[in-house]
C-alpha cells in the first residue's frame, strides 16, 4: 500500500503570533507564551528557537523582585530592533528625509511644530474618552486608546507609582533622529491627564519599551491645550 505524504505545516502564522505577543506585551517566558497562545511547550520552544535564529527576539535574564526562589530564573524573550523592523512602521526614510529638510529650512521650532501638529488629531480623538473617565481611570483609558492606534500600551503600578508602557512605536526610526517626536507625545499625555508626567525610557533611544511615569492622582484641572 502506497503511503501518502502529508503536506508540511506552515508555522509562519503562529510564529508571527508569538512575536507579536512579545512585541505587544513585553518580555515573556516560554511558559507564559504557551499559556497565552494555547501552545505546547515543545511548540513554543520550536517557534522561539526559529525567532532567535532569525534575530527577531533575544533571550534575557529574568528580573526577580523580592526574594528569589531556588534554581535559576526562567529566561524571558524580548523583541529586538530587527524584530520591530518586521512590523509595519508608520514612517520610513522618506519621513526622516522630509524632517531633515524641515529642520534645515525652518529650524528646531519648525520640527517641534510639526511633531505637535502630527498628534493633534490623535489627541482630539482620545480627549472625549478621558473626559468621561474618573481621574484614577484615565491612565488605563489612555493606554487602551493608544493600543487601538497601534502603540501596544499597558498600565501597571510600581512602588514609585503608575507607569504606562508602550511596547510599539510606529515612529521609532524617525524619533531616533528627531527626539521632538517623543517630546511632543509626552506633552500630549500631560494635557490629556491634566498633570505633569515624566518620560523614563523610549524605544527610540534603544530601550525595550517607552515608559512614562504617571502620577496616581491626576489633578482635576487640565493643562492648557
Q: Does pLDDT of 207 surpass 90?
A: no
**CATH class of the region 12-85:** mainly alpha
pTM of the model: 0.59
- Mean pLDDT across the chain: 83
CA–CA distances in Å: residue 117 to residues 6, 64, 137, 163, 208 = 55, 41, 27, 25, 27
> What is d(CA 223, CA 157) in angstroms, rounded to the nearest whole number?
24
Instruction: Tell me what pLDDT residue 13 has.
Output: 85
User: 146, 141, 139: which is closest to 129 by C-alpha?
Assistant: 141
For 32, 45, 146, 166, 194, the CA distances from 42, given in Å and listed in that order, are 13, 5, 34, 30, 48
Helical ranges in the chain per DSSP H: 12-25, 30-37, 41-54, 81-85, 93-132, 138-148, 172-177, 180-193
Is the pLDDT at 17 greater than 80? The verdict is yes
- Percent of all residues in the chain with a pLDDT value above 90, rounded to a whole number: 50
Q: What is the mean pLDDT of residues 64-75?
A: 62
**Backbone angles phi and psi of 211, in degrees to 5:** -120, 130
The 10s digit of each residue's pLDDT in 76-97 is 999 887 887 776 554 467 788 8
- Do residues 126 and 192 make contact, with C-beta atoms less than 8 angstroms apart? yes
Residues 6+ apart with CB under 8 A from 161: 213, 214, 215, 216
CA-CA distance, 12 to 30, in Å (whole number)?
A: 18
pLDDT one-digit tens code per residue, 155-194? 988 777 789 999 888 788 888 899 999 999 999 999 999 8
Q: Which is more confident, 61 or 217?
A: 61
Residue with cell 528580573: 63
What pLDDT does 223 receive?
A: 43
Tell me: pLDDT of 219 over 60. Answer: no
Please say if the pLDDT value at position 29 is more than 90. yes
For the cut 70, the answer to whether the pLDDT of residue 118 exceeds it is yes
Across the range 109-124, mean pLDDT stands at 93
For range 197-223, the mean pLDDT: 76
> What pLDDT shows up at residue 131?
92
With beta carbons less than 8 A apart as the criterion, state whether 160 and 92 touch: no
DSSP one-letter string for 123-156? HHHHHHHHHHS-GGGHHHHHHHHHHHTT--EEEE
* Lowest-confidence segment of 70-79, 106-115, 152-161 by average pLDDT: 70-79
Q: Phi-psi bin for 157: left (phi > 0), alpha (psi -120 to 50), beta? A: beta
- Alpha carbon of residue 136 to chain centroid: 22
- Please list the residue range(s) of the chain that carry CATH number 1.10.10.10: 12-85
Query: Is the model's pLDDT at 32 over the cut of 90?
Result: yes
pLDDT of residue 5: 42
Amino acid at each position: 500500500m502506497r503511503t501518502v505524504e502529508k503536506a508540511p505545516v506552515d508555522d509562519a502564522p503562529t510564529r508571527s503570533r508569538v512575536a507579536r505577543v512579545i512585541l505587544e506585551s513585553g518580555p515573556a517566558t516560554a511558559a507564559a507564551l504557551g499559556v497565552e497562545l494555547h501552545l505546547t511547550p515543545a511548540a513554543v520552544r520550536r517557534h522561539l528557537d526559529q525567532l532567535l535564529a532569525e534575530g527577531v527576539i533575544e533571550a534575557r535574564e529574568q528580573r526577580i523582585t523580592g526574594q528569589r526562589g531556588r534554581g535559576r530564573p526562567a529566561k524571558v524573550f524580548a523583541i529586538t530592533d530587527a524584530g520591530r523592523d518586521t512590523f509595519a512602521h508608520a514612517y520610513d526614510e522618506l519621513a526622516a528625509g522630509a524632517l531633515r529638510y524641515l529642520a534645515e529650512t525652518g529650524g528646531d521650532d519648525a520640527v517641534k511644530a510639526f511633531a505637535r501638529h502630527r498628534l493633534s488629531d490623535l489627541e482630539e480623538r482620545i480627549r472625549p474618552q478621558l473626559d468621561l473617565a474618573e481621574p484614577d481611570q484615565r491612565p488605563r483609558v489612555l493606554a487602551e486608546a493608544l493600543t487601538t492606534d497601534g502603540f501596544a500600551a499597558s498600565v501597571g503600578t510600581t512602588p514609585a507609582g503608575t507607569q504606562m508602557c508602550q511596547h510599539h512605536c510606529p515612529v521609532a526610526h524617525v524619533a531616533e533622529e528627531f527626539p521632538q517626536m517623543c517630546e511632543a507625545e509626552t506633552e500630549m499625555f500631560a494635557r490629556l491627564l491634566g498633570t505633569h508626567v515624566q518620560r523614563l525610557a523610549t524605544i527610540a533611544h534603544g530601550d525595550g519599551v517607552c515608559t512614562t511615569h504617571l502620577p496616581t492622582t491626576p489633578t482635576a484641572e487640565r493643562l492648557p491645550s
